[in-house]
Amino acid sequence: MNLKKIAYLLYIGTQLARMHAVSYIASFLNSILWFLVLYIPVTVLSPNQILAIKTFLPGVFGMTIASLSMWTATEFLRWYVYHGLTDMFRECGFSVLHYLISAVHIDVILFATSTYFASAIAATLVVGLDPFIMFPHSVAYFIIALIVAIPTYLLYGSLIGYLFTSTSIGGVWTNIFQMIITFGTIVPPSIAPDPRILLINPATIVAEFVRAAYGTNIIDVNTLTLLTPIVILLYSLTAYLISNKCEKYIAKYGLKYRV
């Protein structure tokens, strides 16, 4: 896939996002409210409120990346097929992976990041902390987190797209994965005998790099840095292969509307 095609996909995604601007705004507000509902009890029970938010919120960011990708993939395979648009997209060579790429800049760079900082500001104000404490101490680590978030997004979206297409339980996979993904993200890696075990969850490295931006990372930052180029290549390649498998399945068996 060349840069020209990627740029065109990003343009398509931007236009689709404009069509769904109201949905993005509603999701933005809903995400902040949900975070406050989850975060306030954690803060109240924590002896160190600053450490709590700097550990918990990055985990929410990592989980958000994975969740957004799964919702986007199932949107392509559920909502568009319901409205008779998926065949039109596929006839133009527009696969699940293409759809994910078209949305990645909106979902990761714009939506997830803006929701993260808005939630941070809201949470700190609610408990009486200075909102500026949530400005990353290391902007470089936060940027790396965003870079790693892109292939992580593509991987989870492609995987859930294939499972949604090829199995009978459809969207239930999203709920199953969301429960599993909490370990290493919202639930810190420190719960494991060896925190590195939870790197098996691709979203963990995203959450840990955001934590590293505040110095609250559990997994050593040198380990995270060493793994970065490996996971970028591995996740991207795996997403590509899974997406191709999904397309072959659709071409052979068709695509059913599933809940």
Q: Mind listing the pLDDT tens digit for each residue in 35-50? A: 888 877 877 778 888 8
DSSP state, residue 111: I
Number of structural domains (the chain) is: 1
| 179 touches 188 (CB < 8 A) | no
CA–CA distance, 88 with 100 (Å, rounded to integer): 17
State the residue for tokens 């991207």: 236
Domain around 115 = 3-253
The predicted pLDDT at position 44 comes to: 72
Position 259 in a domain: no
Look at residue 258 and tell me if it is in a domain. Answer: no
For 204, half-sphere exposure in the C-beta direction (CA atoms, 13 angstrom radius) is 26
- The tens-digit pLDDT sequence of the chain (259 residues) is 678 888 988 998 899 888 888 989 999 999 899 888 887 787 777 888 889 899 999 999 999 999 999 988 888 787 767 777 767 777 777 788 988 999 999 999 999 999 999 999 998 888 888 999 999 999 999 999 999 999 999 999 999 999 988 887 777 888 888 889 999 999 999 999 999 999 999 999 999 999 999 999 999 999 999 999 999 999 999 999 999 998 888 878 777 666 5
Structure tokens that stand for 51 in this block: 């450490």
CA–CA gap between residue 189 and residue 182 (Å, rounded): 10
Which amino acid does the sequence have at 240? Y
CA–CA gap between residue 129 and residue 165 (Å, rounded): 46
What number of other Cβ atoms are within 10 A of residue 5's Cβ? 12
In a domain, 8, yes or no: yes
